[in-house]
Structure formats: structure tokens, C-alpha cells
Amino acid sequence: MTTTPSAPAKKKATFNTLTVSEVRALTEDSVEVSFAIPPELQDDYDYIPGQYVALRATIDGQEVRRSYSICDVPRDGVLRVAIKRDRGGVFSTWANDTLKPGDTMEVMNPQGAFTSKTHLTGLNNPEAVREELEKLENPHLVAIAAGSGITPIMAIAQTVLHSSPDTTFELIFANKGGGDVMFAEEIGDLKDKFPTRFAVHHVLSREQRVNPLFSGRIDAEKLQTLLDNVVRTDNVDEWFLCGPFELVQLVRDELASRDVGEKDVRYELFTTGKPSGDQNQAGRHVEVDPEGDNVTINFQLDGLSGSVESPVSANESLLNAALRVRSDVPFACAGGVCGTCRAKLVEGDVDMAENYALEADEVKAGYILTCQSRPTTPNIVLDFDA
């Protein structure tokens, strides 16, 4: 097994206006949206399978940002994401109901570290991907996904299966019912094209299947049975987990109890399942009292220095404070999941409430999620360019 590499080099987070080239229905409540990438932006939108982009749109007069994983293998001239309608979701409802070819949208360049340790950094170079995978001896990769968590898995699975003739890929995919399975046709195509190297196990929570193991929710007991009888942990080189917090954490804990090393498990959340006012308060109005107790926040962004005072009584996040003086401070989810707002803490101390995006070595090196961090010292210095 190869040594775990460092996370992919972080590109500067920037938005560009892209044109929607296609909107394709996946299920009744999800669509695949394709964006045309002009030649002059091709390098900016090359990506590693498993990464995501942030989308920005003005809906009912309000700017709304959401992050969505890229769902296809890297191709010249096109980038595809899948958007599943969330109950009460402003952006996802708007995208499913109104988005059409010819529309334009602000799209951030690809970000994220939910990528294979086998260095799938060939981007649009399948040969480079194949050479990296050959460093492992008959690599066996396993993914456990739920609902729209399949999106980055599709990019990873298709890339490794097409690029490496010795790689096998196994997928446990949880959904409510057969009609809710995103990319059902593409998954079927992979089974037909790679019958000995790709296997999928559908678990449907609201439909009865012939084998009761594949009916009902994946709870601790069902997971243990699946790992004992369907996907054994002793011959897996790398795990990919993507879905809601409860499922991802359940699988992580179970794998840890079976002595699967942390370096062999990659995970990504599409929600923490925890309410957070921060997600709706990025850039919220805060009054600074010149006579009050304030924190001084200095930061570097795009080579320019910025500074803002933050009242201790406001208890605002570093992201919120910085956005009050620089609207181009990078962020997407504002919930501690995507990592877009990452910065290096150069001076001072903070309390970081949640972290589902940064690796342990990044935290050790001084990186923080500014959307989740609040100052605990009078002076803070951040570097968004680090």
C-alpha cells in the first residue's frame, strides 16, 4: 500500500460565469446540470475525481451559495454536478424547477480533498491515473453512500474502473426506494461493462427486497452484517464514505473498531444534520461599538491586507467579520463541511466549533475553518492565501 499523500494542492477559490449546456432529470427530485467550460478556463476547471464546486445565484433578491460534488470523469469542455431537491431547500428547489440550458451561473473552481490516496491527479490524463493505480497490487476500493452522496462516488468509480484494469470497486448504496436511486442507468452500465470488477449492493429503506439484509435502514446491526458477509474489511485498500452525518459516523466508528486505519478512510458529508444559524448569517450585520470590547482581525486575501473590528458581544465567526469588509472572502456551505473558507491562523487563538473538512495534518499546521471559528484572543491574524 502506498503512503497517504498530502491533500491536493488548494487552488485559489474564484468564481466565473458559466453557461448551462444541459439539464438532465435523474429522478423525480434530482437533476444533473452540465456547464460548458470555455477553452480559456479549462485549466481552472480541471479537477480530481471527488472534488466539488460551489454555485452562486441570486434567488428572490438574495445571494445563495451551495456546494455540489462533480459527478463525472474529467472531460474537456464540460463539468457536471447533480442537484437533489432538499425539503425546504431554496437553491435545490430553484435548480430543479427553473434551471435550463442557456442559463448562466457563477461557478467556483473545483475544491475539496475527498479524493483517492492513489493520486488520481491525472485530471484529463487517464494514462497518469492508470500509472498511479498500478502502484497498488490489485487495488480493491469500497464506497458506502446514501442518496445524493453517490455524486462524488460516481466520478471516482468511473475514473478508476476505466483507467486501471486491475482495480475492483464495490459500492453499498442506500436509498428510500428504487425510484430514488440517482445515476441508476450509469451504475447499471458500469455493472455491464465491468462485471468482474464492479459490484453494487442496493439497500432500500422503504422497499422490501428478496434478501432482507438489503431492506430497511443501515443501522449498527445491519452494517456489521454487511461488513461480515458482503464487503469484508481485510482486503480493502481504500474506503469512500459519503452521505448524512449519522451514517458516515456510524461507518467510521465500525471500521475503526475493525482496525481499519484512518488513512485508509476518506469521507465527505453533504450535511451535518445539526442546525446552525451560521449557514444563514454569513455577512450578517454587526454594529461595532468604539467604546466597547472589540477583537481586531487582520487578514491577507489575494495579496491584499484587510482589517476589521469584531465586538466580543457579537460572538461572530471570523468569516462573518471578514465578509463585512471584503465580499470576496471565499466560502460556500458556512457549515464546516466543505472547507472553502479555510485559512491559516498566523496569530491568536480561536475556538473552532465544528470541523468536517480539514485533515488532522492541516489542523496541526494551523489551518482553521473561518466559518466555524470565533476569536478567543484580542488580536487575530489570518492568511487566506496560505
Mean pLDDT of 53-81: 93
pLDDT per position as a tens digit, 219-257: 999 999 999 999 988 889 999 999 999 999 999 999 999
Mean pLDDT of 59-83: 94
**Predicted local distance difference test score (pLDDT) of residue 285:** 79
Max mean pLDDT among 164-168, 253-257, 264-268 falls in 253-257
Mean pLDDT of 151-171: 93
pLDDT band at 278 (very low <50, low <70, confident <90, very high): very low
**Predicted local distance difference test score (pLDDT) of residue 271:** 63
pLDDT per position as a tens digit, 169-190: 999 999 999 999 999 999 999 9
Does 137 score more than 90 pLDDT?
no
**Predicted local distance difference test score (pLDDT) of residue 129:** 54
Query: 11 or 281: which carries more pLDDT confidence?
Result: 11
Q: What is the rounded (10 degree) CA torsion for 57, 58, 62, 67?
A: -10
**Predicted local distance difference test score (pLDDT) of residue 276:** 47
Does 352 score more than 90 pLDDT?
yes
3-state secondary structure 183-212: CHHHHHHHHHHCCCCEEEEEEECCCCCCCH
What is the DSSP-derived secondary structure letter of residue 349?
-
**Predicted local distance difference test score (pLDDT) of residue 127:** 57
pLDDT band at 2 (very low <50, low <70, confident <90, very high): very low
Give percent of the chain above pLDDT 70.
88
First to last CA, the chain: 30
**Predicted local distance difference test score (pLDDT) of residue 289:** 78
Does 121 score more than 50 pLDDT?
no
Mean pLDDT of 199-227: 95
pLDDT per position as a tens digit, 249-260: 999 999 999 999
Pairing assessment for the beta strands 238-244 and 265-271 based on DSSP bridges: parallel
CA-based nearest residue to 71, from 188, 152, 180: 152
Mean pLDDT of the chain: 89
Contacts of 61 (CB under 8 A, 6+ apart): none
**Predicted local distance difference test score (pLDDT) of residue 277:** 43
